Amino acid sequence: FELDSSGNLKVIGSTTTTGIKTSNNGDLRLNPDGTGTIILEKALDVNQQQVLDTKNVFFDVYEMGAQTADFSIDFDLGQKQSCRINKSGTLNIAVERPVGHGNFIMQWTFFTNLPTTVNWSGQGGAEVRWAGGTQPDWELNTEDILAFYYDGNNFYVQATQNFEELS
């Protein structure tokens, strides 16, 4: 390795290392000179979680736990999320704008109590738009998957409901 006068780290020849650390702000940028390409030949691990192998991208599920009051969904905490909901009456759910465009998944179950009304709002004026123009009717003790697409302005949501074991 060689550190040039601009603070760039260059790999020279064949070396073995256990890691590269930065000392300033923690950013590590890989920028090949010319027409070079950054090639990932093995798995990419972040915090000991495999995030990327040579063909797939993986994400841990962010577990929101039991929700017994109005709550927010923050997809910056995880692209895949899960929660259990126990709330009667009106339930208000705010969806926070993620850092960028993306596809997001929420798995949830209503247990014990089922709200009579579920109101959705998007942060900063974003709308939460449902396939067909209305959200589905929710049921107790069933697993539902909500697929969100965020285009930078609004959330588009499709629910797939009532997952059960085959008998």
Binned average pLDDT, 10 residues per bin, the chain of 167 residues? 63 50 58 64 62 68 95 95 96 94 95 94 94 95 96 96 85
| Structure confidence at residue 60 (pLDDT) | 85
Check if the beta carbon of residue 88 is closer than 8 Å to that of residue 111.
Answer: no
| Structure confidence at residue 54 (pLDDT) | 56
Check if the beta carbon of residue 90 is closer than 8 Å to that of residue 115.
Answer: yes
Q: Is the dihedral of CA 117, 119, 66, 58 positive or negative?
A: positive
Tokens of 12: 């020279």
CB count within 10 Å of CB 76 equals 12
* Distance of alpha carbon 162 from alpha carbon 109, whole angstroms: 9
Backbone angles phi and psi of 14, in degrees to 5: -110, 115
